[in-house]
Amino acid sequence: MGEVGKSPHVKSSEQALAIAFSEKRRAKRADGGGVFHGPIVSEVPGRTDEHPMDVAAGSYVWPSESVSHFGENNTLAGLKKLQELGPHGIRKLAHAAKGAREIIQKHSLKRALGGAASHDNNTGSPTPIVAAGGEHVMAPEEVKIVGDGDVQLGHRLLDNLILQRRKDHIKTLKGLDPPARD
């Protein structure tokens, strides 16, 4: 960061941060590091992305509030539940969610009419992201399971599942009694 304004190559603090994150990722790969998947356990709040990392192209990042909801508003319990469900259990939930049938039909129709078929040739290559504590990264292989072998369909089904669960969660929270008073 001290190079900002001193180097002809570094023009802003944003550029300096981007260079620093890029170097950190490059060093991680050189040291045998790779792409990340799994739970992000951190004290960093769930809506503040502060963890730079590489994930495989085609990965799916579960928002922290959705993970927490799986654990009845307990993030660690939600992470444990997602791990217990695994990709096959998540697939069942995603396929049973309201609107899933329509998503699958539209996706199948698009492919049958000659639309872009997803061959997922780019899955697995590193994609830099900045994540937050409490999120969960599904590997592209797991997303393919949810999408019956298709990463794009898996993403659509997971987006739908999260939106439906969010709506249900809001409805539940609105129906709760207020906190008890002394």
Instruction: Mark whether 81 and 135 lie in a shared domain.
Output: yes
Q: 182 in a domain, yes or no?
A: no
Calpha distance 10→120 (Å, rounded): 36
Confirm if 94 and 100 have CB atoms less than 8 A apart.
yes
Instruction: Mark whether 99 and 121 lie in a shared domain.
Output: yes
Name the nearest CA neighbour of 166 among 98, 112, 108, 105: 98
pLDDT-wise least confident of 19-33, 43-57, 156-170: 19-33
Instruction: Mark whether 79 and 109 lie in a shared domain.
Output: yes
Q: 178 in a domain, yes or no?
A: no
pLDDT digits (tens, 9 = 90+) for 123-150: 557 889 888 888 999 999 999 999 999 9
Q: 181 in a domain, yes or no?
A: no
Instruction: Mark whether 57 and 123 lie in a shared domain.
Output: yes
Instruction: Taking residues 96-112, report their average pLDDT.
Output: 85
Q: 146 in a domain, yes or no?
A: yes
Instruction: Mark whether 138 and 79 lie in a shared domain.
Output: yes
Instruction: Mark whether 78 and 105 lie in a shared domain.
Output: yes
Q: Confidence class of residue 121 from pLDDT cuts 50, 70 and 90?
A: very low
Instruction: Mark whether 96 and 68 lie in a shared domain.
Output: yes
Residue 52: strand pairing partners: 130
pLDDT digits (tens, 9 = 90+) for 33-90: 578 888 888 887 767 778 888 999 999 999 999 999 989 889 899 999 999 999 999 9
- Give the per-residue pLDDT at 179: 87
Instruction: Mark whether 28 and 38 lie in a shared domain.
Output: no
Q: 142 in a domain, yes or no?
A: yes
Q: 176 in a domain, yes or no?
A: no
Listing from the earlier edge strand, what are the strands of the sheet with 38-39? 38-39, 136-138, 60-62
Q: 175 in a domain, yes or no?
A: no
To the question of pTM greater than 0.85 for the whole model, the response is: no
**Range of the structural domain that residue 19 is part of:** 1-33
